[in-house]
């Protein structure tokens, strides 16, 4: 009895066989003027197992770096295998419910703990979650960076060659609460040109980026129904659930949202009221692997599909693929990249030792290595030192009032 008590920690848990010895947040700027420098989380243990996660938050890197530091006492000295316990402690014991800064900090820590858990148990994270659903990997899409007919023809040819089956694009410009016929027609015509340019065989998703009001979004959604879009994303700000519901009821085009929502609690009302067809949480903001997995399970029970958002760095992207691979209601995975790799992807490959978040025959491949499936060194990241926090784009209407972008 005495021996048992002495071997237990102050919380009453048995002394862990593996213990966290250090946790740090690392800011990484690929360019000095980036508004989204990466925030990576590295967790070290007394057994030499290291876990990596991502807590990147666009425009608020400094705040997230500080928030990760605030959670050190929650994690250092603890058993990293108790992933859910640590998630609950960080979320609940913060008292004030998580917004994007706290949510992103928790996300990076949670991913790193899952990475450690997989490495200790000798399995990829998607296998710990019960996957894979599809051994081919995870279906994905690139962004359609094409404006002219010639560019669209080249993009279509590249897609056929690479096996890519889906792209995402957007609508041009900014929109007033009640918009002119000319502006609405411009948006509608751009989507018809995109469908004509890419053809009938490719799936197309369109991101409104919450630029439109419910009335303007409803008109555009109705006009483009013949295009059979895969989904329309964020036709209005996601916090306005009733407005989103009005748009959804008025169109046959599937409606998606979720990249700005935090934790399963932030998605609850959309799911309970069946407001949208597709949810798109971001693993770097929603609360990591644990939270994305919970949202997916909640959505499945309500007949809602999952198409997670990913527009930050490679660690969050790779972590998302693990969750996708085990979700039965998964549809498609975003990566904010073009069909041809650019400088960003080349740096990712330099870090990871493989072409991270590049599809093969239209699918993101699944690793067989344990944890998240990669090794990373701080020395590799040191070539791109943190350049500080810069704000995201600030867009204004002609009269000077604030516009969504």
> Helix (H) and strand (E) counts for the chain?
15, 14
d(CA 22, CA 332): 36
Question: Are 89 and 144 within one domain?
Answer: no
Domain end call among 84, 109, 125: 125
**Structural tokens at position 219:** 């008109």
In a domain, 395, yes or no: no
Which residues are identified as catalytic?
209, 309
Question: Are 106 and 170 within one domain?
Answer: no
Question: Are 111 and 147 within one domain?
Answer: no
Nearest partner of 89 among 282, 234, 287, judged by Cα: 287
Question: Are 231 and 191 within one domain?
Answer: yes
Say whether pLDDT at 62 is over 70. yes
What pLDDT, on a 0 to 100 scale, did the predictor assign at position 237?
87
d(CA 129, CA 369): 15
Question: Are 168 and 67 within one domain?
Answer: no
The pLDDT of 371-386, averaged and rounded, is 96
Question: Are 210 and 324 within one domain?
Answer: yes
DSSP 116: H
In a domain, 377, yes or no: no
Residue with tokens 């080249």: 154
Question: Are 121 and 144 within one domain?
Answer: no
Say whether pLDDT at 99 is over 50. yes
In a domain, 7, yes or no: no
Domain end call among 90, 125, 160: 125
pLDDT tens column, 125-170: 999 999 999 999 999 999 999 989 999 999 999 999 999 999 999 9
Question: Are 168 and 258 within one domain?
Answer: yes
Q: Report long-range pairs for 44-50 (Cβ below 8 Å, ≥24 apart).
A: 44/20, 45/18, 45/19, 45/20, 45/21, 45/80, 45/116, 46/18, 46/19, 46/21, 47/17, 47/18, 47/120, 49/18, 49/116, 49/119, 49/120, 50/116
Question: Are 31 and 104 within one domain?
Answer: yes
State the DSSP H helix or E strand holding residue 126, giving kind and residue range, or none if neither.
helix 125-128
Question: Are 150 and 196 within one domain?
Answer: yes
DSSP 178: S
Domain limits for position 253: 130-368
Number of domains in the chain: 2
Is 330 strand, coil or helix? strand
pTM: 0.94
d(CA 88, CA 93): 8
């Amino acid at each position: 009895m005495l021996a048992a008590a002495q071997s237990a920690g102050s919380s009453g848990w048995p002394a862990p066989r593996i213990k966290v010895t250090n946790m740090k947040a690392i800011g990484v700027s690929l360019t000095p003027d980036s508004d989204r420098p990466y925030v990576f989380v590295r967790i070290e243990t007394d057994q030499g197992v290291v876990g990596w996660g991502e807590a990147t938050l666009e425009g608020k890197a400094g705040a997230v770096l500080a928030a990760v530091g605030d959670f050190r006492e929650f994690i250092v000295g603890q058993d990293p295998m108790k992933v859910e316990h640590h998630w609950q402690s960080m979320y609940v014991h913060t008292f004030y419910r998580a917004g994007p800064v706290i949510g992103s900090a928790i996300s990076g820590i949670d991913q790193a703990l899952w990475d450690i858990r997989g490495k200790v148990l000798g399995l990829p994270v998607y296998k710990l979650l019960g996957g894979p659903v599809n051994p081919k990997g995870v279906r994905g899409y690139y962004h359609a960076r094409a404006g002219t007919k010639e560019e669209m023809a080249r993009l279509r040819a590249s897609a056929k060659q690479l096996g890519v089956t889906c792209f995402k694009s957007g609508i041009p410009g900014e929109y007033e609460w009640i918009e002119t016929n000319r502006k609405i027609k411009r948006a509608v015509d751009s989507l018809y040109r995109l469908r004509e340019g890419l053809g009938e065989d490719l799936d197309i998703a369109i991101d409104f980026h919450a630029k439109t009001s419910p009335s303007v979004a409803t008109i555009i959604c109705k006009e483009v129904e013949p295009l059979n879009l895969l989904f329309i994303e964020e036709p209005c700000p996601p916090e306005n659930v009733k407005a989103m519901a009005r748009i959804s009821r008025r169109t046959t085009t599937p409606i998606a949202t979720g990249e700005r929502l935090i934790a399963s609690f932030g998605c609850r009302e959309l799911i309970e009221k069946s407001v949208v067809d597709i949810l798109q949480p971001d693993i770097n903001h929603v609360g990591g692997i644990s939270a994305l997995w919970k949202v997916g399970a909640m959505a499945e029970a309500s007949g809602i599909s999952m198409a997670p958002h990913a527009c930050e760095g490679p660690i969050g992207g790779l972590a998302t693929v693990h969750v996708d691979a085990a979700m039965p209601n998964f549809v498609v995975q975003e990566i904010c990249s073009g069909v041809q790799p650019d400088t960003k992807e080349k740096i990712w490959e330099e870090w990871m030792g493989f072409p991270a978040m590049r599809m093969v025959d239209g699918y993101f491949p699944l690793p067989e290595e344990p944890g998240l499936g990669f090794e990373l060194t701080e020395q590799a990241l040191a070539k791109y030192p943190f350049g500080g926090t810069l704000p995201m784009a600030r867009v204004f209407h002609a009269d000077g009032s604030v516009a969504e972008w």
